[in-house]
Amino acid sequence: MPERKGGPLALRLAGIYVLLVLAVAAAGMLAAPLNTPLATVVELTLIGAAGWIAVLLRRLGGLHAQLRDRARLQQDLFRYSGLLITVKDREGRIVEANDAVAAGFGRPVAEMLGTRLADLLPAESAAEVMARDREVMESGRETSHEETVPMPDGEHVFLAKRFPVRDAQGNVTGIAALRVDITAHVRLEQALRLAKAEAEAANLTKSAFLANMSHELRTPLNTIIGLSELVAEELAERGQAHFAEPMRRVVAAGRHLLALINDILDLSRIEAGRIELHPEPCRLHDLIDTVVGVVQPLADANGNRIEVHYADDPGVLSLDSTRVKQILLNLLSNACKFTRAGDVRVDVDTVHDAHGSRLVIAVADTGIGIEAEQMERIFEPFRQADQTIARRFGGTGLGLSICRQLCNLMGGALDVASTPGAGSVFTLSLPLLDGPLARAHEAVARAAAADRRELIVVADDEPDARMLIAGALQREGFEVRAAGSGAETLALVRQARPALLVLDILLGDMSGWDVLTAVRADPATRHLPVIVCTITDADRRAASLGVVEHMIKPFDREHLLALARRFVRPKHAPHVVVADDDAEFRGQIVRRLQTEGWRVREAPDGLETLAALRRQPPDLLLLDLMMPNLDGMAVLEAMREDPRLDRIPVILVSAAELSPEQVRALNRRAVEFVRKCGGDLETMLARVRATLAALDPQRTLQAP
């Protein structure tokens, strides 16, 4: 049935017709819908094909426009990029170059095409560049290099990236190179390196200047302070107190200047990051006793009492003893300075918790206190609580700032709590670094103490310093031999086997560290206690070489003597303190005792008497009853309360009659009484000899 077959065909043709109409309409080939139902199938097919062709042509036109735009963009990038872009063939001829290359060589692009690098660069540079080109062409791999290329306006530094150019079959047909001009960056780096080098050189110059200034200032100060102390002591011992007092002022002024110099140098080193810490084994009891001994005269002058309390025995700890001592000395000095007729208390404790072990030292006073708004300001450099305090008490305002920064460097903290008018508490907290080194140091100290001899060797190449150190020790009864060079020191140590070596580091022929290394290498002297006494600051070698103390010149005489007594048994000449406000009578006594070969110190009043006793307890005290500031009975009462002074024998001297109460007090204290007898000293001298002989029958105490 044809109708059945024709029906579906008609429908298919109608569908094709509709699609063709839509296609032709989309191609814009018909201005109106096709309304010729009698069109043949062939016509319709041709029309449809034309429509499809038109669609494809339009699409191709769009793709062509995109390709054209992309090519233009690539050309613009190639031409205007700041990169220097070149393409070369296998023979090294330039086949493409952009404007940046042309501008760099000062030639038009057209003139550069077909040329080789040998035509553009010096032979050496051209050979280097062409060698890198060949490497890429032969390996087929990209490379990156920094290269210096001479250009018409000078040398330029480029970061060059090379990669091979390939054809459709993957064969390498040439090489392309992209270069970034990093000349400005390289010059900036060079300038920064130069500036850094200059800054480091300037810092070295500054460090050298500070070291030189430290040496140049401390060396004469060492002589000034040492000789002034010597003269003051000689004058006092000769009964010329009115001359001794001005010399003591010279000493005080010299020490004030020295403290200022040390503070400024310390602050400078901290700010420059040049402070080095040198943990070493030390006995905390000895360290604190030393600090208290130094501060005691200031406490006595202000009528203060210093008490030290230990929660337990910390034993030997690893600490930078020099810095810890510096901090405690500042805190205790401030406490005594800002307190009048009060108490200064030092509490020492070790704390163990989840955060580790810490040493906690609290310094409390009953002084003027600090206002709340001023408590943080006192830790700023050159700042004190207020100007009235600065004018009244003096000081630079550097001490607490340096102390806190030193605490921070040691991993600790320094805090303050205060109540105005009631006092202040400064708390120092430091991590504990106990270990085998500390225990070994304690064993060495015990061995040295068990083998105590009498000789001290002083090694210093400066005659004045040698004389001052040796003289201070000899006046206290120590046997001393001096050496002026490293070689002489080593020979003397090996020959004489001393009990202690006081060593300068800046010896003429060799370093003191070399001397110390040689001493430690010799089994006969390896345990010899050594005190370094020098101009330079502490060195990390001190702990490793077993230095028991690093003292900086000008040295503290009392500190040196206290250290010497720890290790050396002096040849003991009897040591007597004469306390009397009558300068003439005191002078007679002193001269007469000195003819006996005894060491004598003088004190014109009660306060100076106590200070002299605490600095170094004597074998005997000759005490006048009637003295200014504190009379003889008050001195005896103060001695009774101090365990270090309570056992000192006392002969009370007075022209006055004693009251019954005074007699009973003297009997309780077992104090002998001698009446002044109009200048007849033999009775008094006989009593002195008898008293000292009773203490030590081995002494020979004969009249001349």
The residue that leads in pLDDT, 35 or 504, is 504
Going by pLDDT thresholds of 50, 70 and 90, the confidence category of residue 325 is: confident
Query: Above 50 in pLDDT, residue 255?
Result: yes
> What's the pLDDT at 8?
54
pLDDT confidence of 501, banded at 50, 70, 90? Answer: very high
> What would the pLDDT profile of 108-143 be if each residue is shown by its tens digit?
888 888 888 778 888 888 888 888 888 988 888 999
CA 383 to chain centre: 21
> Is the confidence at residue 3, as pLDDT, over 60?
no
Q: How would residue 702 be classed by pLDDT, with cut points 50, 70 and 90?
A: very low
Distance CA 426, CA 339 (A): 14
Of 390 and 291, which is predicted with more confidence?
291
Strands (E), 69-170: 84-89, 94-97, 143-151, 154-166
> What share of the chain has pLDDT > 90, as a percent?
10
Q: Which of 212-221, 343-352, 667-676 shows the lowest mean pLDDT across its residues?
A: 667-676
Q: Is the pLDDT of residue 14 over 70?
A: no
Grade residue 361 by pLDDT with cuts at 50, 70 and 90: very high
Both structure tokens of 594:
């000195």
CA distance 217 to 273: 23
In this predicted model, which residue has the larger pLDDT, 109 or 702? 109
Token representation of residue 667? 């009997």
Are 155 and 148 a contacting pair, CB within 8 Å? yes
Smallest CA-to-CA distance from 575 within 490, 696, 428 is with 696
Out of 280-289, 299-308, 669-678, which region has the weakest mean confidence (pLDDT)?
669-678
Give CA–CA dist 447/445, Å, rounded.
5
**Mean pLDDT value across the chain:** 78
pLDDT tens profile 580-613: 888 877 877 877 776 665 778 888 898 999 988 9
**Residue-level pLDDT at 551:** 85
Least-confidence region, from 146-155, 306-315, 450-459, 624-633: 450-459
And the tokens for 276? Answer: 């080095």
> Is the pLDDT reported for residue 36 higher than 60?
no
339 compared with 552, residue with greater pLDDT: 339
Here the tokens at position 28 are 């814009």
* Candidate from 33-47, 330-344, 452-466 with smallest mean pLDDT: 33-47
Smallest Cα–Cα separation from 275: which of 260, 289, 265, 288? 265
Task: Summarize pLDDT for 443-468 with one digit per residue, the tens.
Answer: 444 444 444 457 899 999 888 888 88
Q: Say what the pLDDT of residue 2 is.
A: 46
pLDDT at 261 over 90: no
Cα distances (Å, whole numbers) of residue 111 to 101, 129, 399, 634: 12, 20, 76, 111
Q: What is the mean pLDDT of residues 151-171?
A: 88
Under the banding of pLDDT at 50, 70 and 90, the label for residue 344 is very high
Structure confidence at residue 543 (pLDDT): 67
- pLDDT band for position 503 (cuts 50, 70, 90): very high
User: To the nearest whole percent, how much of the chain has pLDDT over 70?
Assistant: 75
For 298-324, write each residue's pLDDT tens digit: 888 889 999 999 887 777 777 888 788
For residues 620 and 611, give the distance between their C-alpha atoms in angstroms, rounded to a whole number: 15
pLDDT of residue 208: 65
The separation between the first and the last C-alpha atoms of the chain, rounded to the nearest angstrom, is 171
Between 390 and 430, whose confidence is greater?
430
How confident is the model over 415-434, as a mean pLDDT?
86
Q: What is the mean pLDDT of residues 532-552?
A: 76
Average pLDDT over residues 158-177: 89
Q: What's the whole-number mean pLDDT along residues 424-428?
A: 93
Beta strand 154-166 with 172-181: parallel, antiparallel or unpaired? antiparallel
Structural domains in the chain, sorted by start: 11-77 (no CATH), 89-274 (3.30.450.20), 280-439 (3.30.565.10), 452-568 (3.40.50.2300), 575-695 (3.40.50.2300)
Q: Looking up tokens 């006081």, which residue turns up?
A: 502
Residue 560 has pLDDT above 90, yes or no: no
CA torsion through residues 535, 540, 545, 550, sign = positive
Q: What type of residue is 364?
A: A
| Residues 365-413: tens digit of each pLDDT | 999 888 887 777 788 765 554 555 544 545 556 788 888 888 888 888 8
What are the φ and ψ backbone dihedral angles of 428, each rounded to 5 degrees?
A: -100, 125
